[in-house]
Amino acid sequence: MAIETKRIREDFPILKREVHGKPLVYLDNAATTQKPQVLIDALVEYYSSYNANIHRGIHALAEEATGKYEATRQTVADFIGAPDASNIVFTRNTTESINLVAHAWGRKFLTAGDEIVLSTMEHHSNLVPWQTLAKEKGVVLRFIDIDDDGQFVQDDIERHIGPKTKLVAVTHMSNVLGTINPVREIAERAHQHGALVLLDGAQSVPHLPVNVQELDCDFLAFSAHKMLGPTGVGVLYAKRELFEEMDPFLGGGEMIRRVQLEESTWNDVPWKFEAGTPNIGDVCAFSAAIDYLSGLGMENVRAHEIEMVQEGVRRLANVPGITIYGPESAERRGGVISFNLDNVHPHDLGTVLDHHGVAIRAGHHCAQPLMGRLDVVATARASFYVYNEKEEFDALIEGIEAAARLFRAPVHTGA
């Protein structure tokens, strides 16, 4: 393995703790990842040595904090292959980044009859903002469906993206199925019809090499907390001309150039979209998480997760009564495995696993329409990251077998 998990695990203090007397097996990385010591140190360093408000002060601390905050913007731009730091706006999370586009771009440029193309595998955060906009503006929503392998139906891509399409907003990687979508092709088709493309990168940016210029997406939204970074920091990438023509999302301090009693003018991009005091400490620390991932190499992160998924699917498939969702091929999916065990509710399964020290997620994963499409109310989900190792599947399988025994489903060892 290109990723040395034994060495990496030493960098994550939380992995040393026990849960219910068992070593922690953390398989809920699609929800949020754990934090390396360098990230924790970066937060402590900010608050213990250069805490100050940015962009306004002329004193040394304010200059240091401003410098680090803006340096992180450059680090983020480099990480996703953006042409310039001004292509990066800091928000609170993916959800806020998508809402920013819906408000600042959608409200300004969309009118009745325009179409937005989404998909049936979207996270609620890439559905609800568009539903609200659609109601307000009379915009029509269309949905690319999935096939039995959990991939976009090709015909739907061709059928739905057409001359009326103004925006295609889809997830790069599904948080439930793990599906990695053909977003490069989708962008090409959208652009042929003059439509823009927003990628929900909440799951892809942490797990795959992502280059916005190669993908040619117009917007990309993601969250720091899913990529070893702190909570409370999101990113919105956009092409410069889009940020220029969009109206501000929130009004207040920092985002203005000149304010008069009756009207105001706006600050330059990207500050036009960062009203008020931002999450300075967390943004500054975020660069430590990105440096850590860059040090590992995103190609290696991806290769590690392909191996983990292959092994995970192999082990799970040996357990009688298990249904696994998502693409057959590990190359077509990220480090996420959603599954169900016959006659056992995923919440019950999650509770039994928790008593084995294994943290998974159970529920609808903020993708209720997808649950309907899969004809289930919920799934259990194991999701991986750089510190997970194949040995951890032993505890997962043991816990599932214990749940099967408890709830009287047939069982058989799955090694």
How far is it, in rounded angstroms, from Cα 28 to Cα 55?
37
The span of 200-208, 236-244, 388-396, 407-415 binding ligand 7TS (CB under 6 A) equals 200-208
How far is it, in rounded angstroms, from Cα 23 to Cα 17?
6
**Does 302 interact with ligand 7TS (rule: CB under 6 A)?**
no
The span of 199-207, 273-281, 316-324, 400-408 binding ligand 7TS (CB under 6 A) equals 199-207
Contacts to ligand 7TS from residues 131-160, by CB under 6 A: none
* Binding map of ligand 7TS across residues 319-358, x = CB under 6 A, - = no contact: ----------------------------------------
Q: State in angstroms the smallest separation of the CB of 361 from ligand 7TS.
A: 6
Which one among 93, 165, 179, 338 touches ligand 7TS, defined by CB under 6 A? 93
How far is it, in rounded angstroms, from Cα 369 to Cα 195?
25
How far is it, in rounded angstroms, from Cα 296 to Cα 36?
13
Contacts to ligand 7TS from residues 105-134, by CB under 6 A: 123, 125-126
In the sheet that holds 165-171, the strands lie side by side as 88-91, 234-238, 219-223, 196-200, 165-171, 115-119, 140-144
**Does 272 interact with ligand 7TS (rule: CB under 6 A)?**
no
Contact 324, 382 (CB under 8 A): no
Q: What are the backbone angles phi and psi of residue 52, rounded to the nearest 5°?
A: -165, 160
Residue closer to ligand 7TS (CB basis): 230 or 281: 230
**Does 99 interact with ligand 7TS (rule: CB under 6 A)?**
no
Instruction: Output the six-digit token pair for 99.
Output: 């809402």
Give the total of residues touching ligand 7TS (CB under 6 A): 17
* Residues in a beta bridge with 236: 89, 221
Which one among 76, 202, 210, 382 touches ligand 7TS, defined by CB under 6 A? 202
* Binding map of ligand 7TS across residues 28-67, x = CB under 6 A, - = no contact: --xx------------------------------------
Q: State in angstroms the smallest separation of the CB of 286 from ligand 7TS.
A: 13
Which one among 33, 75, 87, 95 touches ligand 7TS, defined by CB under 6 A? 95
**Does 207 interact with ligand 7TS (rule: CB under 6 A)?**
no
Q: State in angstroms the smallest separation of the CB of 368 from ligand 7TS.
A: 13
**Does 365 interact with ligand 7TS (rule: CB under 6 A)?**
yes
**Does 366 participate in catalysis according to the annotation?**
yes
Closest CA to 280 of 237, 346, 232: 232
The span of 65-73, 90-98, 337-345, 399-407 binding ligand 7TS (CB under 6 A) equals 90-98
Q: What are the backbone angles phi and psi of residue 46, rounded to the nearest 5°?
A: -60, -50
The span of 154-162, 196-204, 258-266, 288-296 binding ligand 7TS (CB under 6 A) equals 196-204
**Does 179 interact with ligand 7TS (rule: CB under 6 A)?**
no
**Does 91 interact with ligand 7TS (rule: CB under 6 A)?**
no
Closest CA to 169 of 247, 91, 79, 101: 101
Which one among 165, 171, 181, 338 touches ligand 7TS, defined by CB under 6 A? 171
380, with CB counted inside 10 A (0-12, 13-18, 19+), is: buried
- The CA-based angle 197-198-200, given to 5 degrees, is 145
Which one among 200, 254, 274, 392 touches ligand 7TS, defined by CB under 6 A? 200
Residue closer to ligand 7TS (CB basis): 284 or 362: 362
Q: From residue 137, how far is each of 97, 162, 168, 194, 225 by CA, in Å?
A: 20, 19, 17, 20, 33
Which one among 5, 165, 179, 223 touches ligand 7TS, defined by CB under 6 A? 223
Catalytic annotation, pick one of 85, 296, 303, 366: 366
The span of 140-148, 197-205, 254-262, 317-325 binding ligand 7TS (CB under 6 A) equals 197-205
**Does 175 interact with ligand 7TS (rule: CB under 6 A)?**
yes
**In the complex, which residues of this chain contact ligand 7TS (CB under 6 A)?**
30-31, 93-95, 123, 125-126, 171, 175, 200, 202-203, 223, 361, 365-366
Residues catalogued as catalytic: 366
